[in-house]
A = this chain, B = another copy of it.
Amino acid sequence: MSVTTEREIDTGTAYGLKPRSYKVELVEVGPGTPMGELMRRYWQPFAVSKDLTSEKPHKVRLLGENLIAFRDKQGRLGLVHENCCHRGSSLYFGRVEEDGIRCCYHGWKFDVKGYCLDQPAEVDGGRNRAKIRQPWYPVEERYGLAYAYMGPPEKKPVLPRWEHLENLEEDEHIEILWNTIFGTRDVEPYNPLHFNWLQAFENTMDSPHLPWLHYWHSCDQFTGLPLLRVDGDDDKLPPYAHIKNLAGQIVAARTELGVKQGVPMPVPGQGIFLASNEAMVPNIAVVASLIDLMYFVPQSDTSFLNFILKRAKKGQTFDNFNEMHFGKTWWEMTEEEHRASPGDFEAQSSIGQLPAHNYEHLSQGDVAIGLLRRRLEEAVRDVQEGRDPVGVQFEADAPPLRIGAHDMIPWNDAA
């Protein structure tokens, strides 16, 4: 037998680590949840307008609810509960007609506001049909998107205009960009990514990941984006590769509608420029110079998709958004290629289907994320305590909303 010697005790091991948990009030979006109720105070985009043809009904999954969108043959758009209020069959198998949609099972017809127009087998087409209504949501269309208002009827705001998307020149239009990471758009409901929306939304306030993930780790993933590069100066680092002490240089602040943060990018021969993004309550972002509006729309607690708008000139193309990696779309890449060049999808989705906030250690580089979370928590509390959340307008002639983010501007350390 040997003598027991003093042993060094390990510290910091994973033994006793608590199970994952997250801030419920920021993450969950179903009916009655704090964030779900906040999101329901705003018009949420659910489809690209031109996808909503009159030929067939369209499946929509939004904030944990299953809905059916249809455009009647007169062109009016409707969004109703998926299950027919008669006996529950899905209106996905319904038929779109001149003035409404008919359920396949017994032919009850509803208009875009859910009113029951016909019950073919009932006496006189349904003597009591006026009492029947398919649960519905108000919809409007603007900037090429279809929006729904899913909140309390008495709180319905006007669908906002955005100053930077108005007053288009003759050769301008609003382009809708589809994030190719989501795959093709020809599915119903649209292909979502299967993790929580917040993990993606916060990425817009995360400048440090830009140089690390997209340049130093994964070998210059933004070759297709001219604004993050120096033209004619290919042998130098692109501006977005600047990383040293970056966290200390971030400029972050509250804006009227949310939070903005700016990050310096040194452009060789031209000095340092500041590019800023804005994240607005509850789920809209602006990515300076690249994206004019970007919605992070949850289909459920663990799935979401983006609708992206950009003011564009006639003939302007956006191939950079369809960029290939290894000559493949994201979903064609092999596991090894994903590991060799992880991108936003890998970084965000590998957190898990839901975040683990209790494991996080936010640092100075996360300053804008911290601000955004507080801003969201405030807005959640506003709704809970009976106040209208930020950015909601009720006047029919309300002025367009104004974003706080700006394009790349000259910058110095004192800024």
Q: Is the interface of A mostly helix, strand, loop or mixed?
A: loop
Q: How long is the Cα–Cα vector from A15 to B356 in the complex, in angstroms?
A: 30
B40 and A120 contact, CB distance less than 8 A: no
A398 and B2 contact, CB distance less than 8 A: yes
Residues of chain B within 8 A of A396, CB atoms compared? 2, 5
Residues of chain B within 8 A of A12, CB atoms compared? 113-114, 133, 135-136
Tell me whether A320 is interfacial, beta carbon within 8 Å: no
Tell me whether A339 is interfacial, beta carbon within 8 Å: yes
A88 and B360 contact, CB distance less than 8 A: yes
Known: A93-B342, A105-B212. A2 touches B123 (CB 8 A): no
Q: How many residues of A contact B (CB 8 A)?
A: 100
Known: A123-B247, A247-B122, A248-B123. A14 touches B65 (CB 8 A): yes
CB distance from A183 to the nearest CB of B (A): 17
Q: How long is the Cα–Cα vector from A209 to B120 in the complex, in angstroms?
A: 10
CB distance from A327 to the nearest CB of B (A): 21
Q: How long is the Cα–Cα vector from A104 to B208 in the complex, in angstroms?
A: 11
Known: A93-B350, A245-B124. A106 touches B208 (CB 8 A): yes
Residues of chain B within 8 A of A394, CB atoms compared? 4, 7
Q: Could you mark each residue 131-148 of chain A with 1 if its beta carbon is under 8 Å from any beta carbon of chain B, else 0? A: 011011110000000000
* Listed stretches A45-53, A150-158, A274-282, A296-304; interface member: A150-158
Q: How long is the Cα–Cα vector from A216 to B16 in the complex, in angstroms?
A: 48
A356 and B95 contact, CB distance less than 8 A: no
Q: Of all chain B residues, which has the CB nearest A116?
A: B361
Q: How long is the Cα–Cα vector from A245 to B126 in the complex, in angstroms?
A: 9
Q: Of all chain B residues, which has the CB nearest A217?
A: B104
Residues of chain B within 8 A of A107, CB atoms compared? 212-213, 216-217, 243
A217 and B395 contact, CB distance less than 8 A: no
Known: A85-B361, A136-B14. A213 touches B105 (CB 8 A): yes
Residues of chain B within 8 A of A40, CB atoms compared? 15
B154 and A351 contact, CB distance less than 8 A: no
Q: How long is the Cα–Cα vector from A121 to B261 in the complex, in angstroms?
A: 15
Tell me whether A56 is interfacial, beta carbon within 8 Å: yes
CB distance from A10 to the nearest CB of B (A): 4
Q: How long is the Cα–Cα vector from A135 to B11 in the complex, in angstroms?
A: 9
Tell me whether A391 is interfacial, beta carbon within 8 Å: no
Tell me whether A289 is interfacial, beta carbon within 8 Å: no
Residues of chain B within 8 A of A395, CB atoms compared? 1-5
Residues of chain B within 8 A of A123, CB atoms compared? 245, 247-248, 364
Contact of A104 among B2, B9, B65, B346 (CB under 8 A): B346
A120 and B17 contact, CB distance less than 8 A: no
Residues of chain B within 8 A of A121, CB atoms compared? 207-208, 211-212, 243-247, 365
Residues of chain B within 8 A of A243, CB atoms compared? 107, 120-121
Residues of chain B within 8 A of A5, CB atoms compared? 395-396
Q: 20 additional contacts, CB 8 Å, given A10-B138, A85-B359, A87-B351?
A: A1-B395, A3-B395, A10-B156, A11-B153, A12-B136, A13-B137, A14-B67, A14-B80, A14-B81, A14-B135, A14-B136, A87-B366, A89-B348, A104-B346, A105-B212, A119-B363, A120-B244, A122-B245, A122-B247, A123-B245
Chain A interfacial positions (CB closer than 8 Å to B):
1-5, 7, 9-17, 19, 31, 40, 56, 65, 67, 80-81, 83, 85-90, 92-93, 95, 102, 104-107, 113-114, 119-124, 126, 128, 132-133, 135-138, 150-154, 156, 206-209, 211-213, 216-218, 243-248, 338-339, 342, 346-348, 350-352, 355-356, 359-366, 394-398
What are 7 pairs between A and B in contact, CB < 8 Å? A4-B395, A14-B67, A88-B356, A92-B339, A104-B347, A121-B212, A123-B247
